[in-house]
Amino acid sequence: MAKRATRGKYHGFIVVEKPAGVTSHDVVSVVRKLTGERRVGHAGTLDPAAVGVLPIAVGQATRTVEYLSDATKSYLAEITFGVSTDTLDADGTVTGIVDASHVTEEQVRAALHHFRGEIPQVPPMYAAIKIDGRPLYERARQGEHIELEARPITIYELELVSWEHPVAEIFLHCSKGTYVRSLARDLGDAVGMPAHMSNLVRLSTGPFTLEDAWRLDELEEIISEGAWEDVAAHPDASLQDRPAVVLSAAQVSQWRNGSEISADVPDSLVRVYDSQGVWLGVGRGLPERGVIKPEKVVTE
């Protein structure tokens, strides 16, 4: 095992290729042990059966992980027609089986057309959404059923990658809040039969892709060899699509005191740096007042 690192030594995002059978929280625990860093969190839960991109924020990156909450995600999913489960995925208990022999590739392609763009989607009962302070999955396990309201989501891309009866492999690029399990259910309804998500691979979360990902055993080797800075993304990586602002020496002092900085910036989050390119944190542009208001001030 890698030696336990000194706290505060590691900062940044590391993209983990989450294996099947472990929770997102399990991955956080492993990274916490490997780095010795107390401040560790993840960006976007992946179900235990799902695999793929799980960005892990370490050290100062935990201060910007919240900005990934609005990030889009992309997936490669398998949807099996003719079988329904209570969880809408392969981990659940089968609740129905029908003959799917008449489902065709053409039907599936036609159904996909109705799910592109902004659409309403009803979340699955087995979800972490809290109703009256309790996660839905807890209530579902106790046999409760709640009529959930549809929530607006956006599916930017949705394509049939392959068809091997009765399984459709699809690619989708979607907004936050999208449940691929619910999409599987709804696609089944669109062709007139039950369906469930039989496999899921997350390909990307915001700027982080599967090509950037490391297995947990590889991460252990990376840390033991002192190569963290060679593979970890900077804590500002979750904001690379936001404008950057460079402060003068006088403004840096003001910023570190939590004072607003006069600047001509758009109404958005901005990345803030000094003249040497050192990251100072995150601000909110207030163009009507001509200032940047500090939201996250980095002192380390």
The CA–CA distances, whole Å, from 150 to 147, 174, 216 equal 10, 16, 37
DSSP state of 214: B
Q: How far apart are CA 76 and CA 84, in angstroms?
A: 20
In sequence order, the 6+-apart residues with CB closer than 8 A to the CB of 33 are 4
In sequence order, the 6+-apart residues with CB closer than 8 A to the CB of 138 are none
Contact criterion met (CB below 8 Å) for 128 and 137? yes
Q: How far apart are CA 170 and CA 190, in angstroms?
A: 15
The CA–CA distances, whole Å, from 245 to 65, 82, 85, 138, 282 equal 20, 54, 50, 45, 10
Helix 105-112 and helix 180-190, axial crossing angle in degrees, nearest 10 = 120
Q: Give one DSSP letter per residue of 61-118, joined into a string.
A: GGGTGGGGTT--EEEEEEEEETEEETTSBTTS-EEEE---TT--HHHHHHHHGGGSEE
The catalytic residue among 47, 89, 186, 236 is: 47
Q: Is residue 47 among the annotated active site residues?
A: yes
Of the candidates 1, 6, 174, the residue with the CA atom closest to the CA atom of residue 75 = 174
The CA–CA distances, whole Å, from 47 to 57, 118, 292 equal 18, 24, 38
Please give the single-letter amino acid code of residue 112: L
Q: Which residues are catalytic?
A: 47
